[in-house]
Structure 1
Amino acid sequence: MRKVILTVLIFTLSLALIVGCSQQSAQNTQPEPEQKTEEKPATSSSFSGIKMAVGGAGGGWYIAGAAMGAVWEKNLDGFSTTLVPGGGLANPTRINNNQEVVGFTYITNAVGADKGLAPYKEKHENMYGMINLNIRQYYHLMVLQDKKATSLEQITQEKIGLKISPGPRGSGSENTTQLVLKEYGIGYEDLKNWGGSFEFSSPGDAVDKIRDGHLDTYGCQTTAGDPSTTDLAVSRKMSFIPLSDKVSDALVTQYGYTKGAIPAGTYQGQDNDVPTVYDSVILVVNKDASEDLVYNLVKTLVEKEADLKNVHAIFKDFDPNVASQMPLKLHPGAEKYFKEKGLL
Structure 2
Amino acid sequence: MKKSVKTGRLLFNISIVLLILVTFAIGISQAETTKTSEFKELVFAGGPAGGVWYGLAGSIAELIKDEFPELLVSVMPGGGIGNPTLVEKGKTQLGLSLAFLYRAASEGAEPYENVHKNLRAIATVGSSDQGFFLVREGVPIKSIKELAEKKYPLRLITTPKGSTGAIASARILEKYGITFDDLKSWGGSVTFTSYTDAASLIADGHADANISPIVPALVELMLRVPMKWLPMEEKIIDQLVEQYGYSKNFIPKGKYSFAIEDGWTIGGANVILVSIEVPEEIVYGITKTLCEHPKVVRDWGYWYADFDPKIAWKDLGGPLHPGAERYYRDAGYMK
Q: Cα offset for 1:112?
A: 0.7
Instruction: State whether structure 2 residue 44 is matched by structure 1 residue 55.
Output: no
Q: Cα offset for 1:233?
A: 2.4
User: For each residue in 1:213-242, what CA deviation from the matched residue of structure 2 results, as whole angstroms up to 9, or x when unmatched?
Assistant: 1100011124xxx43232232222222011
1:197–1:237 Cα change, 3 Å: same
- The equivalent of 2:175 in structure 1 is 183
CA contact (8 A) 2:59 2:296 kept: no
Q: Cα offset for 1:269?
A: 4.7
1:238–1:338 Cα change, 3 Å: same
Q: Which moved more, 1:261-270 or 1:119-128?
A: 261-270
Give runs of aligned pairs for residues 1-344 of structure 1, distance below 5 A: 43-45=35-37, 48-222=40-214, 226-310=215-299, 312-313=300-301, 315-325=304-314, 326-344=316-334
CA contact (8 A) 1:114 1:124 kept: yes
Structure 1: unaligned runs, 5 residues or longer:
1-41
CA contact (8 A) 2:88 2:117 kept: yes
Q: Which moved more, 1:47-56 or 1:325-334?
A: 47-56
- The equivalent of 1:33 in structure 2 is none
Q: Cα offset for 1:136?
A: 1.9
CA contact (8 A) 1:152 1:241 kept: yes
Q: Distance in 2 between matches of 1:248 and 1:307?
A: 31
CA contact (8 A) 2:136 2:208 kept: yes
The structure with more radius of gyration: 2
Higher helix share: 2
CA contact (8 A) 2:67 2:286 kept: no
Corresponding pairs, count = 299
Q: Distance in 2 between matches of 1:95 and 1:84?
A: 12
Q: Distance in 1 between matches of 2:261 and 2:221?
A: 18
User: For each residue in 1:27-86, what CA deviation from the matched residue of structure 2 results, as whole angstroms up to 9, or x when unmatched?
Assistant: xxxxxxxxxxxxxxx953356441122223333322221111112222333333122332
Q: Distance in 1 between matches of 2:235 and 2:296?
A: 40
User: For each residue in 1:285-310, what CA deviation from the matched residue of structure 2 results, as whole angstroms up to 9, or x when unmatched?
Assistant: 11121111111111110012134445
1:146–1:306 Cα change, 3 Å: closer
Q: TM-score when scaled to structure 1?
A: 0.81
Identity of aligned residues (%): 30
Corresponding residue SS for 1:146: coil
Q: TM-score when scaled to structure 2?
A: 0.83
Q: Distance in 2 between matches of 1:48 and 1:86?
A: 22
CA contact (8 A) 1:176 1:221 kept: no
